[in-house]
Structure 1
């Protein structure tokens, strides 16, 4: 099951964020212990003063090709688990998320 839901305005994405992750990157999909699936994201920014949240919205906007103003954190502003809304064409956003989160054979992430 995909960790995002479609709506008429765009998509809502469940995230697990790692601040101070060494780089800004999308690391794929993870299934949590409770069975919920999330998109794993790491950012270099620290989780202080909203810096990590800002880095997350900028990373998602760039990766999905939408303006930063179209990415909003719905819940989890002080948690690693977040729900984020991205405005735009739901089908295009869903296709982009699938490409960003699929593990390519033979590709290593470092």
Structure 2
């Protein structure tokens, strides 16, 4: 039930997580948790926030396997392209569209 609630209302169903990764990966994933539902950030924006490089952020984002709970789908390329997504860019776009509909953010 908690996972289903998270899918319908991603910001309302907190779930305890123990993320296994390098300290840098966990730092990136923590930054992903700070991106509001219905919004996106560029790899470079996160890199600047963390004092790193966009490529390193992209690699850390790519190691995340908890797509709904750690919202890596909210990270896009600076040129407006979707960037990669472990489960495919079609699902990435569907997740973003769903969040924008739920939160009232325009695409």
- Which protein is richer in strand relative to its size? 1
- Which protein is richer in helix relative to its size? 2
Fold in common (TM above 0.5): no
Q: Which TM-score applies when normalising by structure 2? A: 0.30
Q: Which TM-score applies when normalising by structure 1? A: 0.29
